[in-house]
Chain A
Amino acid sequence: GQNIDQPTEMTATEGAIVQINCTYQTSGFNGLFWYQQHAGEAPTFLSYNVLDGLEEKGRFSSFLSRSKGYSYLLLKELQMKDSASYLCAVRDSNYQLIWGAGTKLIIKP
């Protein structure tokens, strides 16, 4: 079967750095997405990786290793507004998105 694993919940301090990991086992791979979802709201796109390596976008970076079936999302200079769930999704060989359950990130002052 297809599987996306992420930690259920993480806690970090305002101003610090946090890394959210995602491991996947899917039938084929055609890219990995990270989305942010505030409570009760729609998911919004953060990043996309299809090749190995690091993609940086402001305070957020996303890393991919296809050989290890592994990605992480790195958030720097954490702000209170970063408190949200972070969803990892992989596009499989049928070009369908397989979603992880999400990681709830709690930011403390």
Chain B
Amino acid sequence: DADVTQTPRNRITKTGKRIMLECSQTKGHDRMYWYRQDPGLGLRLIYYSFDVKDINKGEISDGYSVSRQAQAKFSLSLESAIPNQTALYFCATSDLSEGEGGETQYFGPGTRLLVL
């Protein structure tokens, strides 16, 4: 089983709709992240959480919100979707004590979102 899972894997929605992307992990990591990836651009951080009671805005948080329901679950919501939120969304996890060095981030398989 995958350590970091995302649902749904693909989603088509209409402008103005509310949508939630979910992320679950079995790695036992405290830190979780949401990124979006657009063609020709690097991964951009939307929100991150270092533990259940901690939520922080990233580089591009406008139009998004998150919820950390438990250590293992981190959800991303688009309150009112717009076409320029069409992108590939990745969830990632990390832990200070794990990784070959420097706190490696481990990524979920991604959610491909299309906003019409």
Binding site for B on A (CB under 8 A): 4, 8, 30-31, 33, 40-45, 47-48, 50, 87, 89, 91, 96-102
Q: With contacts A41-B110, A42-B107 known, is A50 near B44, CB below 8 A?
A: no
Q: Name B6's closest neighbour in chain A (CB-CB).
A: A42
Residue A48 contacts which of B4, B58, B102 (CB distance < 8 angstroms)? Answer: B102
Chain B proximity of A3: nearest CB distance (Å): 10
- B interface residues (Cβ-Cβ under 8 A, vs A): 4, 40-45, 58, 90, 99-102, 104-110
Chain B at the A interface: SS class: loop
Interface residue from A30, A31, A44, A99 paired with B43 (Cβ < 8 Å): A99
Q: Which of A40, A43, A50 contacts B107 (CB 8 A)?
A: A43
CB–CB B102/A42 < 8 A: no
Instruction: Give Cα A96–Cα B59 distance, bound, in whole angstroms.
Output: 10
Asked if residues A30 and B42 are in contact (CB atoms below 8 Å), the reply is: no
Decide: A42 and B110 in contact? CB cutoff 8 A.
yes
| A89 CA to B102 CA, complexed, in Å | 12
Apart from A87-B43, A99-B42, A100-B42: 8 A-B pairs, beta carbons within 8 A: A33-B104, A41-B110, A42-B108, A45-B100, A48-B99, A48-B102, A87-B42, A91-B102
